[in-house]
Amino acid sequence: MTFLAIDIGNTRLKWALHTAPHRDAPLLAQGAEFLENIDRLAEGDWAGLAPPQRMLGCAVAGDAVKRRVEEQMELWDVSAHWVVASSAEAGLTNGYDYPARLGSDRWVAMIGAWHRGLKQGAPRPLVVVMVGTAVTVDAIDTHGKFLGGLILPGHGIMLRALESGTAGLHVPTGNVCEFPTNTSDALTSGGTYAIAGAVERMVQHVRQHCRMEPRCIMTGGAGWKMAPSMSVPFELVDNLLFDGLLEIASYRLARAG
């Protein structure tokens, strides 16, 4: 039973076709598309795929984008299912004041990270970092409870905010360095270390709260940009969202059957 996982962020749609809706099911194909190009998926990358028999996605880019994707999916005879964060799913509990208001991508990434952690031995607290359009830094305790998390602007939004709010900051992208001596490097380094600092701070919070050293897992399109500048140990995982979607699909199928 082929399974299509879709993650719609505010910049790009990422998709992956697996042989089955089960954790560790082999990958058949995957791709990513900027949102401005998603209306051509059915005549492009998706045209030659083995038709998916099940689909599960998470979408934070709004209902209009979701509908555009569902239109492309009319190519196949499969219904669209979208994750909504709830108070508990797949072994994780949700500490958000209003659980359904938590971004579904954050919820799915945390479920993926939690199960990845379980496979690596005794439960440890987690800090889950997603570096996309926005950056999120989420904390999970040793019992699998999502404690809460940070949202901050991603690299692009930080730069655009500074450009539009000032007269003298229209400069090309610079390099990350410890002591920037020109405007380009100062901006690029400022954004990068703002993110690295937020992660370091959350690691401190979790260490203090759980009295145990957390594992830090990072994902997202711009994760590789952050990797050289992080001040805490971390693991970079490309497919965390797909892992999470597979995990949820496995749980739901087991419960249904």
Ligand X SMILES: Nc1ncnc2c1ncn2[C@@H]1O[C@H](COP(=O)(O)OP(=O)(O)O)[C@@H](O)[C@H]1O
Ligand Y SMILES: CC(C)(COP(=O)(O)O)[C@@H](O)C(=O)NCCC(=O)O
By CB under 6 A, name the binding residues for ligand X: 9-12, 132-133, 154-156, 220-222
255 among the known binding-site residues?
Answer: no
Stretch that binds ligand Y, among 67-75, 128-136, 163-171, 240-248 (CB under 6 A): 128-136
H-helix or E-strand spanning residue 86: none
Answer yes or no: 105 catalytic: yes
For residue 136, state whether it binds ligand Y (rule: CB under 6 A).
yes
101 binds, among ligand Y, ligand X, K ion, none (CB under 5 to 8 A by kind): ligand Y
252 among the known binding-site residues?
Answer: no
What is the DSSP annotation of 104-151?
A: HHHHHHHHHHHHHHHHTSS---EEEEEESSEEEEEEE-TTSEEEEEEE
Residue among 45, 63, 97, 105 flagged as catalytic: 105
The tokens describing 191, both together, are 């954004």
For residue 105, state whether it binds ligand Y (rule: CB under 6 A).
yes
- What three-state secondary structure class fits 93? strand
188 among the known binding-site residues?
Answer: no
Residues facing 55 on adjacent strands: 4
221 binds, among ligand Y, K ion, ligand X, none (CB under 5 to 8 A by kind): ligand X
- Nearer to K ion among residue 158 and residue 187 (C-beta): 158
Residues facing 92 on adjacent strands: 89
Residues facing 31 on adjacent strands: 15
The candidate with the shortest Cα–Cα distance to 206, out of 155, 138, 252, 156, is 138
Longest dimension (CA), the chain: 62
103 binds, among K ion, ligand X, ligand Y, none (CB under 5 to 8 A by kind): ligand Y
57 among the known binding-site residues?
Answer: no
Which residues, at least 6 apart from 67, have a Cβ–Cβ distance to it below 8 Å?
none
181 among the known binding-site residues?
Answer: no
115 binds, among K ion, ligand Y, ligand X, none (CB under 5 to 8 A by kind): none
For residue 9, state whether it binds K ion (rule: CB under 5 A).
yes
For residue 33, state whether it binds ligand Y (rule: CB under 6 A).
no
Q: How far apart are CA 93 and CA 215, in angstroms?
A: 18
Which residues, at least 6 apart from 25, have a Cβ–Cβ distance to it below 8 Å?
3, 18, 19, 246
Q: Among 112, 125, 132, 214, indicate the residue that binds K ion (CB under 5 A).
A: 132
Could you give the residue numbers annotated as active site? 105
Which residues of this protein are in contact with K ion, per CB under 5 A?
Answer: 9, 105, 132
Residues that bind ligand Y (CB under 6 A): 9-10, 60, 101-103, 105-106, 132-134, 136, 151
Binding-site residues for ATP, in ranges, read: 7-14, 133
